[in-house]
């Protein structure tokens, strides 16, 4: 289609007398061709028409000029370049899409103020041996018990294999002196009372569940032991819950 | 030249599966490289302005106390 | 044909004429060149004048922006300062933020609250964890109700917000002759002119109000404040605070630091936003350029295609087109 256009331009370029419109990869072949001819006929001076053969100055449209300038070097080059461009385009799009999705997901996760309150730090030095402390953590009470040596011994020696929710005391504490549990009865969610009940641990006033000094259910309707939250001792005298 | 490109064409592009996985691996690598590069550029533009640049002053004085 | 010649005459009369009159001339000339001509012209001119007039009336009545105050009462327009942190590729200067927070804490905090900033926000932007913790613990906060339902006091934690100087807005008004000191968390976004306005306001108190200016008792003169009478007196004086990094605490230095700090408190995400933004722009522009290339590549075969239809010639009949040629 645009062959004649290209052709004429190419040759007139070679003639180094370029006043012709530059070639665009445009589909307006016919029009441009006309324009080219018009230009060729109106321009003065020594214009060598691309369609002229020899010196006669007579137009001869049967001459097929060389397209070498516009022919690619090799097919492989072209293919690799095209596939590279398309592939890189796809790859960059994938990169952008991944980051967009990721940013939206991050945006939906817990915000900084929630995260800041998700952890509670407790100073253990102020809790004497044999005392209960209740603190609030994420809206729930947490029991912290500084157990005495007798209580540790008692919790350890209980035959836990036959209990309703069998669990050894060592599984429930990180340091035997410190028992940390969520203060929510596993039956219907009341808050048990400390240092009460038949087993020297906790007693739920709502429906009469008895927990022992390791927070295990011993008697009453509750099905499970008191839950142990995640906690850590960053230093000897401080505790971080959460 | 053509030999190298031909090799690339035959190994990477010809099989669609290999080409696709090359694109994704390339995207991953580009992501890493671009992030590293652009962050480094950002930090060099803003040298001395960000907290991590001035943090050491206050951290050191903490230790002395 | 007649109409066309009329148009030509009208054009010849000059380009100053409106198209309406041009039409009128044309219309007139299509009829006999006599009595009807001036009537048409008059009608069209009158209706044009009426249309323009009613538009003008409507604009003057309802279209203009309404000013409650005179320009003088709006306050002096703040000077545009070349803030370093407002440039596209610049973060906040965090050393300045630290100084600015010191100014806020030692000067502004006695009247102005900063309710939306928690102590934890200071960590990693201008303070270490321990410094922020120590500052937070200087303040007391209400606990949740204990077993007896009593509310007790506890030292502050990092997750607490910076306390206000007054219990509530009413207390703030009562302590300041009825003028409530605004919360400063979002003040650079909340005031026209942003950083420039606040800097100009802080540094713009004259020694004495200019002659002729009326200043109510209890108010101070500041040309940048809308109405020029501001309840806040000049607070920043040279050497008011002592910067720990040795920066000379001049009035303008303190004002600049505290303005940058207040800009941070209004937009704590700015550093990250700018960094993300220019990355997105970089990737996006490359992506756009490539998409243009790929589009042209994929469409090149279609765009350079030539469809030609040669209708079959029915036997015995000539193609009408061919015959015409």
Q: What is the ipTM of this complex?
A: 0.84
State the DSSP code for C127: B
Output Rg (C-alpha) for chain C, integer angstroms. Answer: 36
**Nearest-angstrom CA–CA distance, C264 and C268:** 5
Mean pLDDT across chain C: 85
Residue positions of C in the annotated binding site?
108, 111-112, 232
Highest mean pLDDT of the ranges A131-145, B40-54, C16-30: B40-54
Q: Chain C: give the shortest CA distance to residue B55, in Å.
A: 8
Using pLDDT thresholds of 50, 70 and 90, give the confidence band for residue B56. Answer: confident
Beta strands A200-204 and A238-241 are unpaired
Q: Is residue A118 within 8 Å of residue A172, measured between CB atoms?
A: no
The two structure tokens encoding residue C225: 């404040």
Using pLDDT thresholds of 50, 70 and 90, give the confidence band for residue A58. Answer: low
Give yes or no for residue A9 having a pLDDT over 60. Answer: no
Residue with the larger pLDDT of the pair A118 and B55? B55
Query: Residues C183-188: what's their mean pLDDT?
Result: 94
Q: Is residue B29 within 8 Å of residue B37, measured between CB atoms?
A: no
Would you tell me the crossing angle of helices B16-45 and C270-303 to the nearest 10 degrees? 140
Residue with the larger pLDDT of the pair A193 and B46? B46
Question: Which tens digits make up the pLDDT trace of C33-45?
Answer: 566 789 999 999 9
**HSE-CB for C99 with a 13 A CA cutoff:** 28
Chain B residue with Cα closest to A94: B27
**Nearest-angstrom CA–CA distance, C99 and A152:** 53
pLDDT of residue A151: 80
The two structure tokens encoding residue C67: 């000013």
Within 8 A by CB and 6+ apart from A104, the residues are none
Interchain contact, B24 vs A94, CB within 8 Å? yes
Using pLDDT thresholds of 50, 70 and 90, give the confidence band for residue A45. Answer: low
Give the sheet arrangement for strand A132-137, strand by strand: A132-137, A140-146, A178-182
CATH number of this structure's domain A118-241: 2.102.10.10
Chain C touched by A113 (CB under 8 Å): yes
Residues of C near A (Cβ–Cβ under 8 Å) read 118, 120-121, 144, 147, 157-159, 276, 283-284, 286-287, 290-291, 293-294, 296-297, 300, 303-306
**Nearest-angstrom CA–CA distance, C226 and C174:** 22
Query: Residues A115-138: what's their mean pLDDT?
Result: 78
Residue with the larger pLDDT of the pair A56 and B27? B27
Would you tell me the crossing angle of helices C94-106 and C251-266 to the nearest 10 degrees? 100
Q: Pick from A73, A77, A91: which is nearest to B26 by CB?
A: A91
Out of A44, A146, A187, A207, the active site residue is A207
CATH number of this structure's domain C71-117+161-271: 1.10.760.10
Would you tell me the crossing angle of helices A75-108 and B16-45 to the nearest 10 degrees? 60
Q: Is residue C77 within 8 Å of residue C194, measured between CB atoms?
A: no
A210 is catalytic: no
Query: Residues C96-104: what's their mean pLDDT?
Result: 94
Q: Is residue B46 within 8 Å of residue A110, measured between CB atoms?
A: no
Within 8 A by CB and 6+ apart from A38, the residues are none
Query: Residues A1-9: what's their mean pLDDT?
Result: 48
With contacts defined as CB-CB under 8 Å, which chain A residues touch C159?
A: 113, 116-117
* SS3 state at A79: helix
Q: Is residue B64 situated within a structural domain?
A: no
Nearest to A76 by CA among B2, B22, B4, B15: B2
Using pLDDT thresholds of 50, 70 and 90, give the confidence band for residue C288. Answer: very high
**Which of A95, A99, A102 should we substitute to test contact with B (largest number of B Cβ atoms within 10 Å)?**
A95
Cross-strand pairs, C153 = C142
Query: Residues B1-25: what's their mean pLDDT?
Result: 87
Q: Number of CB pairs < 8 Å for A and B?
A: 44
Nearest to C17 by CA among C37, C44, C36: C44
Question: Which tens digits make up the pLDDT trace of C242-286?
Answer: 998 889 999 999 999 999 999 999 999 999 999 999 999 999 999
* SS3 state at A206: coil
Q: Is residue B26 situated within a structural domain?
A: yes
Tally of structural domains, chain B: 1
Mean pLDDT across chain B: 86
Chain B touched by C53 (CB under 8 Å): no
Q: Number of CB pairs < 8 Å for B and C?
A: 43
Q: Chain A: give the shortest CA distance to residue B63, in Å.
A: 18
**Nearest-angstrom CA–CA distance, A210 and B51:** 54
Interchain contact, B23 vs A98, CB within 8 Å? no
**Nearest-angstrom CA–CA distance, A111 and B14:** 47
Give yes or no for residue C72 having a pLDDT over 80. Answer: no
Query: Residues A87-99: what's their mean pLDDT?
Result: 94
pLDDT of residue A52: 58
pLDDT of residue C1: 42
**HSE-CB for C212 with a 13 A CA cutoff:** 0
With contacts defined as CB-CB under 8 Å, which chain C residues touch A86?
A: 294, 297
pLDDT of residue A34: 46
Interchain contact, A89 vs C291, CB within 8 Å? yes
pLDDT of residue B4: 85
* SS3 state at A235: strand
**Nearest-angstrom CA–CA distance, C230 and A54:** 93
Interchain contact, A89 vs C287, CB within 8 Å? yes
How many residues would you count in chain B?
Answer: 65
pLDDT of residue C15: 46
Chain B residue with Cα closest to A78: B5
| Whole-number percent of chain C with pLDDT over 90 | 54
Domain holding B33: CATH number? 1.20.5.260
Q: Is residue B38 situated within a structural domain?
A: yes
pLDDT of residue C290: 95
Interchain contact, A25 vs C118, CB within 8 Å? no
**In angstroms, what CA-CA distances link A112 with C118, C184, C263, C289?**
10, 21, 20, 38
Q: Is residue C120 within 8 Å of residue C159, measured between CB atoms?
A: yes
CA C43 to chain centre: 47
Q: Is residue B65 situated within a structural domain?
A: no
Domain assignment of residue B8, given as a range? 2-59
Nearest to A144 by CA among A118, A181, A170: A181
Q: Is residue C308 within 8 Å of residue A30, measured between CB atoms?
A: no
**Nearest-angstrom CA–CA distance, A204 and A188:** 10
**In angstroms, what CA-CA distances link A239 with A125, A167, C140?**
10, 23, 22
Nearest to C257 by CA among C236, C226, C272: C236
**HSE-CB for A80 with a 13 A CA cutoff:** 18
* SS3 state at A132: strand
Nearest to A75 by CA among B6, B13, B10: B6
Q: Chain C: give the shortest CA distance to residue A221, in Å.
A: 25
Q: Is residue C49 within 8 Å of residue C20, measured between CB atoms?
A: no
Output Rg (C-alpha) for chain B, integer angstroms. Answer: 22
With contacts defined as CB-CB under 8 Å, which chain C residues touch B59?
A: 128
Give the sheet arrangement for strand A231-235, strand by strand: A120-123, A238-241, A231-235
Interchain contact, B13 vs A79, CB within 8 Å? yes
Q: Is residue C85 within 8 Å of residue C196, measured between CB atoms?
A: no
Residue positions of C in the annotated binding site for heme c?
108, 111-112, 232
DSSP string over C224-247: TSTTSEESSPP---TTSS--TT--
């Amino acid at each position: 289609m645009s062959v004649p256009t290209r052709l004429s331009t190419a040759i007139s370029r070679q003639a180094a007398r370029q006043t012709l419109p530059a070639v665009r990869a445009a589909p307006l072949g016919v029009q441009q061709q006309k324009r080219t001819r018009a230009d060729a006929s109106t321009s003065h001076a020594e214009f060598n028409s691309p369609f002229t053969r020899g010196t006669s100055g007579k137009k001869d449209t049967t001459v097929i000029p060389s397209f070498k300038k516009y022919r690619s070097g090799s097919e492989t080059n072209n293919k690799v370049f095209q596939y590279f461009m398309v592939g890189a385009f796809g790859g960059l799009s994938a990169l952008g899409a991944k980051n967009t999705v990721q940013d939206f997901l991050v945006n939906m996760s817990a915000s900084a103020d929630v995260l800041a309150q998700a952890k509670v730090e407790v100073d253990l030095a102020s809790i004497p041996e044999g005392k209960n402390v209740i603190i609030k953590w994420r809206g729930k009470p947490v029991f912290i018990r500084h157990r005495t040596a007798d209580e540790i011994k008692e919790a350890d020696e209980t035959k836990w294999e036959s209990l309703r929710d069998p669990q050894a005391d060592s599984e429930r504490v990180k340091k035997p002196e410190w028992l940390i549990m969520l203060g929510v009865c596993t039956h219907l969610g009341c808050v048990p009372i400390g240092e009460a009940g038949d087993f020297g641990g906790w007693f739920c006033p709502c429906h009469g569940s008895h927990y022992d000094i390791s927070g295990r259910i011993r008697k009453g309707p509750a099905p499970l032991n008191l839950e142990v939250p995640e906690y850590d001792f960053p230093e000897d005298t401080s505790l971080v819950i959460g | 030249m053509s030999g190298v490109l031909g090799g690339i064409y035959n190994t990477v592009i010809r099989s669609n599966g290999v080409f696709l996985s090359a694109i994704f691996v390339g995207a991953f690598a580009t992501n890493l490289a671009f992030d590293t590069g652009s962050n480094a550029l950002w930090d060099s533009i803003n040298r001395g302005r960000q907290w991590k640049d001035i943090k050491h002053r206050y951290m050191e004085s903490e230790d002395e106390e | 044909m007649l109409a066309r010649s009329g148009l030509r005459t009208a054009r010849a009369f000059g380009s100053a004429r409106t198209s309406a009159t041009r039409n009128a001339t044309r219309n007139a000339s299509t009829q006999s060149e006599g009595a009807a001509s001036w009537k048409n012209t008059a009608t069209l001119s009158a209706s044009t004048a009426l249309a323009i007039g009613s538009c003008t009336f409507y604009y003057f009545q309802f279209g203009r922006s309404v000013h409650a105050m005179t320009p003088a009462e709006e306050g002096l327009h703040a000077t545009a300062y070349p803030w370093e942190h407002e440039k596209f590729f610049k973060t906040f200067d965090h050393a300045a933020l630290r100084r600015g927070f010191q100014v806020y804490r030692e000067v502004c905090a006695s009247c102005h609250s900063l309710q939306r900033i928690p102590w934890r926000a200071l960590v990693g932007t201008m303070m270490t964890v321990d410094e922020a913790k120590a500052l937070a613990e200087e303040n007391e906060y209400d606990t949740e109700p204990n077993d007896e339902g009593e509310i007790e006091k506890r030292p502050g934690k990092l997750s607490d917000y910076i306390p206000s100087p007054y219990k509530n807005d009413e207390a703030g008004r009562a302590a300041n002759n009825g003028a409530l000191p605004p919360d400063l968390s979002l003040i650079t976004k909340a005031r026209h002119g942003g950083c420039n306005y606040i800097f100009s306001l802080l540094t713009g108190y004259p020694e004495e109000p200019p002659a002729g200016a009326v200043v109510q008792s209890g108010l101070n003169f500041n040309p940048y404040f809308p109405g020029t009478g501001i309840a806040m007196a000049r607070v920043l004086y040279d050497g008011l605070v002592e910067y720990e990094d040795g920066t000379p605490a001049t009035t303008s230095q303190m004002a600049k630091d505290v303005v940058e700090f207040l800009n941070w408190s209004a937009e704590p995400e700015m550093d990250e936003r700018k960094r993300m933004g220019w990355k997105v722009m970089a990737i996006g522009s490359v992506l756009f350029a490539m998409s243009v290339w790929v589009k042209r590549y994929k469409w090149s075969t279609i765009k350079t295609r030539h469809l030609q239809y040669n209708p079959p010639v029915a036997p015995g009949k000539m193609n009408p087109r061919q015959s015409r040629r």
